[in-house]
Structure 1
C-alpha cells in the first residue's frame, strides 16, 4: 500500500510508489498502451544502483506502476538512461510470437540492447549483453534510437566527451549492428540527447536537444546532423542541471499521428518514501517565427479527461488595486485566462496560488505590463494586445504556459506547506479580463493505494 495523499505528492504527476526516480527512459506507445520506463533506485531515497522502473498508461495521464523492467541483478551493464523503440516491421528479426519486439537501449561506455517479446512486461539482454555500439571518448551514455524513414534505417544518438561535449551518431538496418557515422560537437550539449523529426507546414526538420532542454533545429541526412544555428534555444524558460525542476526530457516512440510528446524528470520533490516525479506530458510542435522555426509546448489534450468541477469567471474590467478570489479552495487544477492589455500600458497583475488567512501565498505568477515580462522573462502580448496564461497547479508541481506555448516554465513547488488553498488574481491597474476558467483535476491514483 502507498499513501498517494502524503504532502507534496502530485495528484496528476507520476511519481514512484517508493524509492528514487530520475530520468524518464524508453518512452513508447504500443497497442493502446503508453510505457514510461525511468531511472529508479527502489530501496533508496537518493541516487543509487540504477534499475529501470516501469509504468503504463492508457491515455498519457493515468499511470499504473509495473514490476521493475531492468534489474542489475539480472541484466548486465550500467542500467543508466536510454531509449526504446517498437520494431513494428521486425527489422531486427527477433519477433517470436504475436508481439512486435520492444527494444530498449542502455549502458555507459558502450550500448547494450534488451528485448521484450511480451509487450514490454519482461526483458532479456540481447546476445548476453554484448556491446553493440561503442561511442567515442572516455565517457559515454544515454543512447536514444529513432527511425529515419528516408534512409530506411534506425538512428542512434549517444552523448560522449570526445573532443568536448557532443553526440555520436550511429545507423543500423537491423538494430543489432551499428555503424558510427558522425558527431555533433557543442560545448553546451550535455547528456540525454534526443533527436526528433518535426514538421512545419510541408517541411521536415530534425530537432536535437540535450538534458537541459537546449535545442537546435537542423537537417539529418541519415548519417550526419547539420545545423546553421550557432546558439541553442531552450524548451523551458528555467533550464537547470541534473536534479533541477526540469531535466532529461525524452520523446515517445511510435506515437499515433506522429505527435511529439515529451516527459522530463523533476528532481526537487520528495516525500517520506519517494524522491522525484515526472513532469506532466507536453505536446511540442514547430512554428514559424521571424527568427526561424521554434518549438512551442502545450499540455497534452488528454488532460481534459481529468477535469471535474469548473469555475468560470465572466468577462469584466478589474479595478486597479483590487483582488479577485478565483477559488476559495483548489489544490490540483488547471487555470486558463485571457487578458486584453491594449488599454493597460503599465502596472502588474498576478495569480497568487495557495493563499491563506494570513494573506500569504506560496507562489505568484506575475506579469509586468510595463516591462512586458512574465515572471521576469520577456514576453510580448499578441498583435491584438491579448495575452493568454495557462497554469497547471498540483500539490508539488507548477507548469506555466503563455502565448500559445512560446513560454513554458516547469517547477517543483512545495505547495502543501500552504496555510490555505485559495487562488487569487490581483492587479495594480485596471485590467480587462476577457475569460478565465479553473478546472479542478481528479487524482490519477487508485483509491486503494496500490
Structure 2
C-alpha cells in the first residue's frame, strides 16, 4: 500500500482516500442503518491505476468510518479494473453493479472492452462477486468500446439500468436496460443521445436518471463539450438534461451545467430514508495538477448536497446535517459597512453571508487570501450582469456562474484544508474548488458603497 508522507492538505471533514488515488463516487445507498459511499480507488500509488472500490460508511452523512476495500480487480470479469457503478438493496442484501475493464492484449493498453458485473453482500462490508458474471457481456453492435458506469434503480416492479456510452459515430449517449431479477438484463434502447448539430459531447459518463418534482432528470458527465459563453470551461463537464414526460430520446432540454467550479465531476445521487435526493461528486478534474500527490494521496469528494428542482433549474445545497459539524461561532457581525476582513488559523470553516442590495446595485466581492494576504480565490458578484465571476490562482484562472437578482445576495461557503465550496442564493449556482495553502487564511467581503452585511463564521470539527 501507498503511505501518507505529509498531512498538510488532508481534508478534515470531506471523504478522502486513506492513501493512494481516489476518483468517482460509487454505490451510494442506505443499508442496515448506515449510509454507504464507495469510490474509485488505487491504493498502491497516488496516480490513477487499476481501479478498486474503496468504501466508507456513516450513520449521519457527516462522520465517516473507513471500511475494507470492497472490490479488487483481477478476476476474469474485471481483469484490469473494477470501474464505476452503483448499489441497490434487494431483500436483506446489498448488490454492487459495476463495470469490468479489460485491455486488449498486445495493444499497450490502447484498446479495451468493458462489461457489467455484480457483487453481493449480506453485511455491507464483505462482498462476493456473482458466479454468473458478467450480467451484461458486451455493448450493442452500434456502440463503441466505451460502455460503463451502470446506475440501477427499482421502478414499477422492475429493475432499470442506465449506462454511459458512445455510439459508433462518436456521439455520447445513455443506454437503457431492464431486468426482473437484477441478473438477466434486456436492452431497451437509447434513452438519450448527443445531437451532432449541438455542443453535447462525444462520450457520456456516469449517468444518473431520476424524477424530481415531476421532472425527469438525466444527470451525467459529458466529454468533449467545447467552452462557450463563459460556460463549459473544464476539461470535462457535469450537468443535466430534462427529458420529456415519457423519456423519449428525441425530446430533451438543452444541457445545463450543474456546478461552475474548476473541480467537479462524476456525480452520483441516491434517496435518503426521509426522501431527499442527495448527491456526491469527485471534487477534482482530469488532467489538472494535484499537489497532494507528492504527499501520497490524491482526490476528495464534495460535501453531500441535496438536490431540489425550482421550475426548470436544478439547485444543489449542503445537506442540513452538516450543521452538526459546528464546534464554535468564530465570528458574527451585522453592520452597514463597505469592507469586512476575517482571519482564521483554522481551515475547517462554514461561512454564512447575506448582503442587502440597495436601490443602487453595487458589485460585491469575496476574496480568500493566504497568510501573506496573497489572493488565492476571488469572486465578483455583478448584479447588472447577474453573473458571478470567479478567479483562482494558477492556470486557467476564470470561471463564471449566473444568479438571479434579488433583494439579497446569500452565500454559504464551506472551507476545508484544501477545498472551498461556494453556494449562491440557496444553491441556484455553485463553485467547487481545490486550493493549496498552508497557515492562516484571510477572508474579505467588500462592496463599492455602504451596504448591510450579515456574516457568521463557524469553526467545524474534524471527522477523522
Q: TM-score, normalised by structure 2?
A: 0.81
Name 2:274's counterpart in structure 1. Answer: 257
8 Å contact kept, 1:19–1:42: yes
**CA displacement at 1:148 relative to structure 2:** 4.4
Name 1:197's counterpart in structure 2. Answer: 210
Name 1:94's counterpart in structure 2. Answer: none
Matches within 5 A, 1:75-154: 76-77=77-78, 78-88=80-90, 90=91, 99-108=92-101, 109-132=113-136, 134-136=138-140, 137-149=143-155, 151-154=156-159
Residues 279, 378 of structure 1: alpha-carbon distance in 2 compared, 3 angstrom cutoff: closer
Instruction: Say whether residues 1:405 and 2:395 are aligned partners.
Output: no
8 Å contact kept, 2:283–2:300: yes
8 Å contact kept, 2:150–2:164: no
8 Å contact kept, 1:397–1:411: yes
Name the CA distance, whole Å, in 1 between partners of 2:377 and 2:65. 30
**CA displacement at 1:188 relative to structure 2:** 2.3
8 Å contact kept, 1:103–1:115: yes
**CA displacement at 1:393 relative to structure 2:** 1.0
**CA displacement at 1:80 relative to structure 2:** 3.9
Q: Is the partner of 2:131 in helix, strand or coil?
A: helix
**CA displacement at 1:139 relative to structure 2:** 1.2
Q: Is the partner of 1:180 in helix, strand or coil?
A: strand
User: Which of the residues 346, 353, 356 maps onto 2:368?
Assistant: 353
Matches within 5 A, 1:389-400: 389-400=411-422
Q: Is the partner of 1:161 in helix, strand or coil?
A: strand
Name 1:275's counterpart in structure 2. Answer: 298
Matches within 5 A, 1:38-57: 38-57=39-58
Residues 220, 345 of structure 1: alpha-carbon distance in 2 compared, 3 angstrom cutoff: closer
8 Å contact kept, 1:196–1:251: no
Name 2:172's counterpart in structure 1. Answer: 165
8 Å contact kept, 1:75–1:125: no
CA RMSD of aligned residues (A): 2.6
Residues 206, 421 of structure 1: alpha-carbon distance in 2 compared, 3 angstrom cutoff: closer
Name the CA distance, whole Å, in 1 between partners of 2:26 and 2:413. 26
8 Å contact kept, 1:263–1:282: yes
**CA displacement at 1:282 relative to structure 2:** 1.1
Q: TM-score, normalised by structure 1?
A: 0.84
Residues 68, 368 of structure 1: alpha-carbon distance in 2 compared, 3 angstrom cutoff: same
Q: Is the partner of 2:267 in helix, strand or coil?
A: strand
Name 2:193's counterpart in structure 1. Answer: 185
User: Which of the residues 265, 288, 291 maps onto 1:247?
Assistant: 265
Which structure has more strand as a fraction of its residues? 2
Name 2:71's counterpart in structure 1. Answer: 70
8 Å contact kept, 2:147–2:166: no
Name the CA distance, whole Å, in 1 between partners of 2:202 and 2:61. 28
Residues 308, 75 of structure 1: alpha-carbon distance in 2 compared, 3 angstrom cutoff: farther
Name the CA distance, whole Å, in 2 between partners of 1:181 and 1:220. 17
Name the CA distance, whole Å, in 1 between partners of 2:178 and 2:137. 10
Q: Is the partner of 1:46 in helix, strand or coil?
A: coil
**CA displacement at 1:430 relative to structure 2:** 1.6
8 Å contact kept, 1:135–1:168: no
Instruction: Say whether residues 1:19 and 2:20 are aligned partners.
Output: yes
Which segments of 5 or more consecutive residues in structure 1 lack a partner in the other structure? 91-98, 239-243, 446-450
Q: Is the partner of 1:374 in helix, strand or coil?
A: strand
Instruction: Say whether residues 1:300 and 2:319 are aligned partners.
Output: yes
Q: Is the partner of 1:314 in helix, strand or coil?
A: strand
Q: Is the partner of 1:10 in helix, strand or coil?
A: coil
Report the number of matched residues: 412
